[in-house]
């Protein structure tokens, strides 16, 4: 399935502009609950870091703006990604609820966990609260900032967090969500040279036991399919 026509909910909402002396334009922290785009920097310099974050550390490589997966093309023209991280793994989650989207999950993370906002980098909808198979881009991806999803420092710093809405301990994994997950994961794996065996369920990295992303998450199928995609 081609993801291109799917809406990227919220990502096209432009942030309120605040000139912070960095030459960057950012929305206010209060709105950091969801996927969003920001408007740009005429004056950013590699290694300068971002407002609200510590300066870039050596492990974070300053490079030219990052591309987005082709399926997220609508966001491209509105986003500047000033640097990338050395992503090393892809961590798959489920939301464990029956409905949701990046905005709702982000609000929950902010209000109940005290995080800045959405802990994941991407959210894939299950048709209940967001389009089935639709991919939402979180601000952490646009910022190339660490996640708040894994439960370990390493995987929060260098693991890309993808949450599929739904509870896959109970429900079957929707094929439409799988197709989107495969396309996104394959793109990320190719772009960041992440081997398929570094596609991990949350349960494999979190120190405390968790069922996330559920027994019906098709890990081995995803690894095989990504491996196949990488050979193309
Ligand atoms: Zn999880």
How far apart are the CA of 69 and the centre of ligand 1, in A? 23
How far apart are the CA of 193 and the centre of ligand 1, in A? 23
CA distance 39 to 142: 11
DSSP letter for 174, please.
P
| Size of the chain in residues | 232
Instruction: Give the pLDDT of residue 226.
Output: 98
How far apart are the CA of 49 and the centre of ligand 1, in A? 28
How far apart are the CA of 40 and the centre of ligand 1, in A? 31
Instruction: Give the pLDDT of residue 8.
Output: 38
How far apart are the CA of 149 and the centre of ligand 1, in A? 6
Q: Which of 78, 190, 88, 75 is nearest to 136 (CA)?
A: 75
How far apart are the CA of 99 and the centre of ligand 1, in A? 15
Q: Let me know: does 184 contact 135? Beta carbons within 8 Å.
A: yes
Domain residues for 133?
1-232
How far apart are the CA of 113 and the centre of ligand 1, in A? 14
Q: Which of 41, 47, 46 is nearest to 22 (CA)?
A: 41
How far apart are the CA of 191 and the centre of ligand 1, in A? 23
Alpha helices in the chain (DSSP H): 73-76, 102-113, 139-143, 153-158, 175-191, 202-205, 219-231
Domains of the chain: total: 1
How far apart are the CA of 41 and the centre of ligand 1, in A? 33
Whether this prediction's pTM lies above 0.85 is answered by no
Instruction: Give the pLDDT of residue 73.
Output: 52
Task: For the chain, 232 residues long, give each residue's pLDDT as a single digit of tens.
Answer: 344 434 333 333 333 222 222 223 333 333 444 443 322 222 223 333 333 333 333 333 334 455 666 666 544 444 444 467 889 999 999 999 999 999 999 999 999 999 989 999 999 999 999 989 988 888 888 888 889 889 898 999 999 999 999 999 999 999 999 999 999 999 999 989 999 999 999 999 999 999 999 999 999 999 999 999 999 9
How far apart are the CA of 94 and the centre of ligand 1, in A? 6
91 bridge partner residues: 161, 200
CATH of the domain at 56: 3.40.80.10
Neighbour count for residue 31 (Cβ, 10 Å): 16
- Distances from the Cα of 110 to the Cα of 34, 114, 132, 187, 217, angstroms: 10, 5, 24, 29, 26
Instruction: Give the pLDDT of residue 67.
Output: 60
How far apart are the CA of 212 and the centre of ligand 1, in A? 5
């Amino acid at each position: 399935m081609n993801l291109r026509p799917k809406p990227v909910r919220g990502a096209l909402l432009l942030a309120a502009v605040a000139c912070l002396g960095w030459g960057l334009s950012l929305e206010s922290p209060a709105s950091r609950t969801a996927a969003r785009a920001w408007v740009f920097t005429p004056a950013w310099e590699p290694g300068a870091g971002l407002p609200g974050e510590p300066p870039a550390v050596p492990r974070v490589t300053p490079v030219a703006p990052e591309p987005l997966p082709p399926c997220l093309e609508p966001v491209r023209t509105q986003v500047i990604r000033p640097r990338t991280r050395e992503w090393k793994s892809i961590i798959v989650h489920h939301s464990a609820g029956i409905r949701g989207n990046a905005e709702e999950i982000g609000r929950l993370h902010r209000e109940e966990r005290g995080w800045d906002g959405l802990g994941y980098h991407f959210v894939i909808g299950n048709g209940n609260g967001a389009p089935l198979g639709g991919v939402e881009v979180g601000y952490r991806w646009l910022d190339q900032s660490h996640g708040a999803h894994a439960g370990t420092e390493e995987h929060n710093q260098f693991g890309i967090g993808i949450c599929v809405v739904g509870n896959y301990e109970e429900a079957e994994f929707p094929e439409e969500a799988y197709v989107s997950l495969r396309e996104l994961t394959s793109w990320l794996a190719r772009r960041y040279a992440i081997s398929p065996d570094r596609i991990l369920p949350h349960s494999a990295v979190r120190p405390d036991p968790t069922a996330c992303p559920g027994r019906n998450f098709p890990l081995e199928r995803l690894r095989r399919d990504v491996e196949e995609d990488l050979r193309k």
